[in-house]
A and B are shown apart, each in its own frame.
Chain A
Amino acid sequence: MERLHVIVLVILLIALAVTLVRLRSLLAIAILTGVYSLIMAVVYTLLDAVDVAFTEAVVGAGITLTLMLAAISLTTRRETKPGKRKGQRIVGAATAIVAGVALIYATTDMPGLGIQDAPIHRHVAPYYIETGPTETGVPNIVTASLASYRGFDTLGEVTVIFTAGISVMALLWRWGKDDR
């Protein structure tokens, strides 16, 4: 039953992606990208990855959409028509098809969905699951691994966010500066 839900949602995602490619109104594209993220969040919930789903919903459907709308209101609402030259189109289509086929081919090597003895579940994960609740006292294993066992990674992640933030501010911040 769950598998059926996921299949229906993935078909919906493909339909959305096709629509997004054909659209020219940036406003509609931004909003539909938010819808895409929301559906993706439902897929993650069905796959029992609640924390990922939460992040996807909050970041993809929430803040990205808002920042996109802010950017659109400063630039333009319509995308310019793509080049009419036939050569460009063929090169573009060929790149997309080759990349897509390569990615689909790569998925055949991936372990099946939810299989317990996949390599990623046999490395450090069993240790985190077994000792996490007693060693950290935190019932949510995702938080225990992210904040405690992988605390150094998370520190790096916050540094990345910090760097991205100050880069944007260094380039575009104009508060308190006179316009010349």
Chain B
Amino acid sequence: MSEHLIVRIVSKMLIPFILLFALYVQMHGDYGPGGGFQAGVIFATAFIIYAIVFGVKRTIRVLPLTVVTAMVSLGLILYAMVGFVSLAAGGTFLDYGALDSHDPVHGQHLGIIIIELGVGITVAGVLTAVFYTFAERWQK
């Protein structure tokens, strides 16, 4: 854990806003700049800051290793599943218009939001997992 008081307090204050900003970028990717990839990176950064300032042990209590490793594959599965669902709904692979039989535009919007979520989950998981792999060696 860092002994620097200012670093501790400032990061404690900023981390909730970083997480909130990540969620904003995630959900607002279709209106403004950003999207799943950027949101995932910001999300991971918040946890990495927490790990650097407060220690890896405490971070693992918040975001356990099993959750991180599950996130790595969960996002990709979510993305691919959207493709298979649209396939089952009568469209082509990843044709989101088929997701809503009444309004293809609505289906497109739904598909984009879900696949962006998949991208975000995988990116956040991979980056946190890579950081955790490094951080394990700090323990000694």
**Closest chain B residue to A172, Cβ basis:** B133
Within 8 Å of chain B (Cβ to Cβ): is A159?
A: yes
> A62-B45, A66-B48 known; A143 and B75 CB under 8 Å?
no
Task: Give the contact-size bracket for chain B.
Answer: 35 or more
Question: Are B33 and A173 neighbours in the complex by a CB distance under 8 Å?
Answer: no
Contacts of A51 in B (CB 8 A): 33-35
Interface string of A131-155 (1 = CB under 8 A from B): 0001111111011101110011011
If over half of A's interface residues share one DSSP class (helix, strand or loop), that class is named, otherwise mixed; here it is: helix
- A:41-66 near B, CB below 8 Å: 50-51, 53-55, 58-59, 62-63, 66
If over half of B's interface residues share one DSSP class (helix, strand or loop), that class is named, otherwise mixed; here it is: helix
Task: Give the contact-size bracket for chain A.
Answer: 35 or more
> A140-B29, A146-B35 known; A161 and B122 CB under 8 Å?
yes
Within 8 Å of chain A (Cβ to Cβ): is B3?
A: no
Q: Which of A63, A71, A165 contacts B41 (CB 8 A)?
A: A63
Q: Which interface residue of A50, A53, A146 has the most chain B CB atoms within 10 A? A: A146
Contacts of B125 in A (CB 8 A): 165
**Closest chain A residue to B118, Cβ basis:** A158
Contacts of A66 in B (CB 8 A): 45, 48, 52, 131
- B:39-97 near A, CB below 8 Å: 41-42, 44-45, 48, 52, 65, 69, 72-73, 75-76, 79-80, 83, 93-94, 96-97
Q: How far is the CB of A169 from chain B (nearest CB, A)?
A: 6
A-B contacts counted at CB < 8 A amount to: 147
Within 8 Å of chain A (Cβ to Cβ): is B8?
A: no
Q: Which of A53, A73, A138 contacts B108 (CB 8 A)?
A: A138
Complex Cα gap A147–B80 (Å): 13
Question: Are A148 and B111 neighbours in the complex by a CB distance under 8 Å?
Answer: yes
> A148-B96, A161-B123, A169-B129 known; A174 and B35 CB under 8 Å?
no
Question: Are A59 and B105 neighbours in the complex by a CB distance under 8 Å?
Answer: no
Q: Which interface residue of B25, B33, B42, B116 has the most chain A CB atoms within 10 A? A: B33
Q: How far is the CB of A154 from chain B (nearest CB, A)?
A: 7
Q: Which interface residue of A62, A146, A161 has the most chain B CB atoms within 10 A? A: A161
Q: How far is the CB of B32 from chain A (nearest CB, A)?
A: 7
Complex Cα gap A144–B69 (Å): 29
Given contacts A66-B48, A172-B133, 10 further A-B contacts (CB under 8 A): A62-B41, A62-B42, A62-B45, A66-B52, A70-B135, A136-B96, A161-B123, A165-B126, A172-B134, A174-B136
- Give 9 CB contacts A-B under 8 Å: A58-B38, A134-B105, A136-B112, A137-B106, A137-B108, A137-B109, A143-B35, A158-B118, A166-B72
Identify the 5 closest CB pairs spanning chains A and B, nearest first.
A165-B126, A151-B94, A50-B33, A137-B105, A138-B30
